[in-house]
Structure 1
Amino acid sequence: MTRLCYCTNVHPAEDVAGILGQLDSHAVPVRERLGYDRLGLGLWLAAGAAAELAADPAALRRLRAELDARGLSVLTLNAFPYGGFHQRVVKHTVYRPDWTDPARARYTADCAHVLAGLLPDDADSGSLSTLPLGWRTPWPPAADRAAQSALRWTATELRKASARAGRPLRLAVEPEPGCVLETVADAVRWLAPRVDPEVIGICLDTAHLAVSFADPEQAVTTIERAGLAVVKIQASAALHVDDPRDPRARRLLAEYAEPRYLHQVRELSGQGRVLAADDLPEALDGLPGRGPWRVHFHIPLHAEPQAPLRSTTEVLRRAVAAVRDRTVVEVETYTWQVLPQGSDLVDGIAAELTWAQRELLDGGRSV
């Protein structure tokens, strides 16, 4: 069964008390508004909270009881941001520590052991997503060796956590533009000869997939033919503009050039080449604009941006349809606070989940 949840990295809290406060303010009202008995979460834990819970089984049991009392189920963990995901400027810091730093492996292992204690009884497996090794520069050959070693150690911890949970827990590597593993093809080439596919697979973030101008069906086929699995899908949509030289399009794009997060841009040239800029201001100043752009800015799934901008939700639909093995679909719009037009967060999350059920899960109530 495909199970639907929303990612709590949209909330700024980084300790357990703060997380519960945010869930009381947002997740519980969303569940009530949708009329669900239980609401699925893709939980984000900063490193300090993950370490505290992993080291204290009693605290972990208390958190599980608090979630149960609120009608909330943790279906997956987002272990990509280490911390500080809502500080004034995030940009490249979200990729640190990378997989060459032992702190990244320790954090991921802590998250796995926490997931073992939080996963609902009726879940047949669990997942946690992570960054695609790190930002692409600097990345010398020694970094590959260090990352491979760290992932091998983490896989051992995942097996221990799986044994404790009584079902498999798998790590999902999330390709992202600008990173060492920028595309699905990059991730498959790097992972397939190096990891145990029973433990480590792919997180298919559909905004990242769209920005890379990848074909969704071909991307899923590439993963499956390599013997890897789509461990989880992050349901997200990027910005698309057909003519980046259109003055109105440029004015609207400039409204999305905000200072907190990195918004990578890719342009598809007439020759089929993909041109790159690491952030939206750089693209507005430097890309030629003779072909369409895709911008890594997570757009609410249910809400089209102002024309001539549009959303890449069609990529999302096709990607979900192409994944034959049912998995967790995690709605991951973390950008609500930096959108040009504000919105009530409870209203927005509820509307996204309603859209995702209707458009991605054939109207079925999977939570």
Structure 2
Amino acid sequence: MELSPFGHISYCTNIHAGEHWEEVFDKLKQYIPRIKTEVSPDKSFGIGLRLSDIASKELLEGNNLTEFVNWMAETDTYVFTMNGFPFGSFHNTVVKDQVHAPDWITQARLDYSKRLLFILSQILPQGMSGGVSTNPVGYRHWFKGQSESEGALEKGASQMLEVALYLHQLEKETGKYLHLDIEPEPDGFLENSPEVLDFFQEYLLRLGKPKFQNELGVSAEEAERLIKRHLTLCYDICHFALAYESPEYTLGALKQAGIQVGKVQVSAALRILFDAEPNKVWQVLEAFDESTYLHQVTQQTEEGVKTYADLPDLLAHKGDFTELRAHFHVPIFLERYGLLQSTQDQIKAVVDYAKTHAVSEHWEVETYTWDVLPADLKTEMGACIIRELQWLKSEFES
């Protein structure tokens, strides 16, 4: 739904299991009409669509795309953003670091991303911008040493620039403006604002400006403008909370560098405070240990942010801590989880910032851990999605 002047607000359908298009479409039919009735009864409802590589290929087969467009017309819905981070299976399997596979050094990631953007160009309403979020080049622990890492960043930047050129041409052909939204997260090559700024300056712009000048016959200034127009940031609130960055700092730094926020993913991390009954806190935290997703844990130290690669790594070395934050995309409408808290305050801070600053046209709630939450926190999914969207809407309207 569009909530003026903030932009389009929805939730990411990666919450629904389904790797084939038929499964995805069945879930949309099951949940979207009910959610729209509750959240946006009098306005069109936007969808944050997630398609696996397989589903994206299947959607382009036969009459599938036409049937989907017709269904959206019948239900008064539209797609304005897509999640292109998880390539393959995202449910009922061990995902962990494989959420980054294939990464941006591969042809498969490039082809998948361009396919998603093409699909979006076909279904995006005229006059509306569209974006596809993607992983932050790759998983840094797969690469050994500075040389391998720099090589991966260079290759990843080169392939993202191919996407930017593709989107420039696509806009000329369709009149639709689309962007690729790069999503920093813990243990990705891009984790925080300094790394984002460095990637844009030292890789995307260094490689991209002469490439765009040569291929498009434009000035260096125009080349930079086009790169920053089509390559933007996906600002995941949970991820930047894990980096211990305030929204004012991050969003201010991006604006100063001329980097756009293509999408805000509205999400919350777990905050673990050890101010009372630390043994009980550890017991509660252990209930969140599960085998599907990576749950990096971060600690603010005098030397900077220290990251534990996964929750079991922390639990195996319990120490004396004051505060930790865990990558767990917990429901955004809750501030506390028993003895644990969330970084819901960071969401409120971003919304407050957006009331006086232009942030992004796209806002997507991304809570995807419902199935792996401790039993006492699980409830019916549709009701939870509705509650999340109503909570976010009320924060914007307050």
Question: Aligned match of 2:134 in 122, 130, 137?
Answer: 130
What are structure 1's unaligned runs of at least 5 residues?
none
- How does the TM-score come out when normalised to structure 2? 0.85
Question: Aligned match of 1:191 in 177, 200, 210?
Answer: 200
Query: Structure 2 CA distance, aligned partners of 1:178 and 1:336?
Result: 23
Residue 51 in 1 paired to residue 50 in 2?
Answer: no
Query: Structure 2 CA distance, aligned partners of 1:88 and 1:169?
Result: 32
Question: Aligned match of 1:169 in 163, 170, 178?
Answer: 178
Residue 335 in 1 paired to residue 339 in 2?
Answer: no
Query: Structure 1 CA distance, aligned partners of 2:287 and 2:171?
Result: 45
In the TM superposition, residue 275 of structure 1 has moved relative to its aligned partner by 1.9
Q: Look up the match of 1:206.
A: 237
The answer as to whether partners of 2:127 and 2:176 remain within 8 angstroms in 1 is no
Query: Structure 2 CA distance, aligned partners of 1:189 and 1:28?
Result: 43
Q: Look up the match of 2:305.
A: 274
Greater share of helix: 2
The answer as to whether partners of 1:28 and 1:71 remain within 8 angstroms in 2 is no
In the TM superposition, residue 228 of structure 1 has moved relative to its aligned partner by 0.6
In the TM superposition, residue 105 of structure 1 has moved relative to its aligned partner by 0.7
The answer as to whether partners of 2:126 and 2:176 remain within 8 angstroms in 1 is no
The answer as to whether partners of 2:335 and 2:343 remain within 8 angstroms in 1 is no
Q: What is the correspondence of 1:83-102 to structure 2 with a 5 Å cutoff? A: 83-102=88-107
In the TM superposition, residue 287 of structure 1 has moved relative to its aligned partner by 5.5
The answer as to whether partners of 2:20 and 2:58 remain within 8 angstroms in 1 is no
SS of the counterpart of 1:98?
Answer: coil
The answer as to whether partners of 1:89 and 1:259 remain within 8 angstroms in 2 is yes
SS of the counterpart of 1:4?
Answer: strand
Query: Structure 1 CA distance, aligned partners of 2:196 and 2:33?
Result: 36
Q: Look up the match of 1:80.
A: 85
* Superposed CA offset, 1:114-156 (max 9, x none): 0111212352x11110000010023313212211221111112
- How does the TM-score come out when normalised to structure 1? 0.92
Q: Look up the match of 1:311.
A: 342
Q: Look up the match of 1:14.
A: 19
Question: Aligned match of 1:231 in 262, 265, 279?
Answer: 262
In the TM superposition, residue 35 of structure 1 has moved relative to its aligned partner by 5.0
Q: Look up the match of 2:213.
A: none
One-letter amino acid matched to 2:308: A
Residue 67 in 1 paired to residue 72 in 2?
Answer: yes
Query: Structure 1 CA distance, aligned partners of 2:142 and 2:39?
Result: 46
Q: Look up the match of 2:29.
A: 24
One-letter amino acid matched to 2:353: A
Query: Structure 1 CA distance, aligned partners of 2:346 and 2:308?
Result: 21
Query: Structure 1 CA distance, aligned partners of 2:152 and 2:316?
Result: 32
Q: Classify 1:35/1:174 alpha carbon distance in 2 versus 1 (closer, same or farther; 3 Å).
A: closer
Q: Classify 1:358/1:165 alpha carbon distance in 2 versus 1 (closer, same or farther; 3 Å).
A: farther
The answer as to whether partners of 2:36 and 2:45 remain within 8 angstroms in 1 is yes
Q: Classify 1:308/1:166 alpha carbon distance in 2 versus 1 (closer, same or farther; 3 Å).
A: same
> Which region of structure 1 is more displaced relative to structure 2, 217-226 or 15-24?
15-24
Q: What is the correspondence of 1:95-174 to structure 2 with a 5 Å cutoff? A: 95-121=100-126, 123=128, 125-139=129-143, 140=148, 141-174=150-183
Query: Structure 1 CA distance, aligned partners of 2:105 and 2:73?
Result: 37
One-letter amino acid matched to 1:39: F
Question: Aligned match of 1:349 in 385, 389, 392?
Answer: 385
Question: Aligned match of 1:178 in 187, 192, 214?
Answer: 187
One-letter amino acid matched to 1:221: G
In the TM superposition, residue 238 of structure 1 has moved relative to its aligned partner by 0.6
SS of the counterpart of 1:159?
Answer: helix
The answer as to whether partners of 2:14 and 2:368 remain within 8 angstroms in 1 is yes
Q: Quick check: which has more Rg, 1 or 2?
A: 2
Question: Aligned match of 2:285 in 253, 258, 263?
Answer: 253
Query: Structure 1 CA distance, aligned partners of 2:351 and 2:303?
Result: 25
* Superposed CA offset, 1:36-89 (max 9, x none): 243221100111222344576x53232111222223211101000001011321
**Number of residue-to-residue matches in the alignment:** 359
* Superposed CA offset, 1:283-331 (max 9, x none): 1222534230000001111123333211101111212333522411100
What are structure 2's unaligned runs of at least 5 residues?
206-226
SS of the counterpart of 2:140?
Answer: coil
* Superposed CA offset, 1:201-226 (max 9, x none): 11000000111111211011111111
Q: Classify 1:77/1:337 alpha carbon distance in 2 versus 1 (closer, same or farther; 3 Å).
A: same
**What percentage of residue pairs aligned between the two structures are identical?**
30
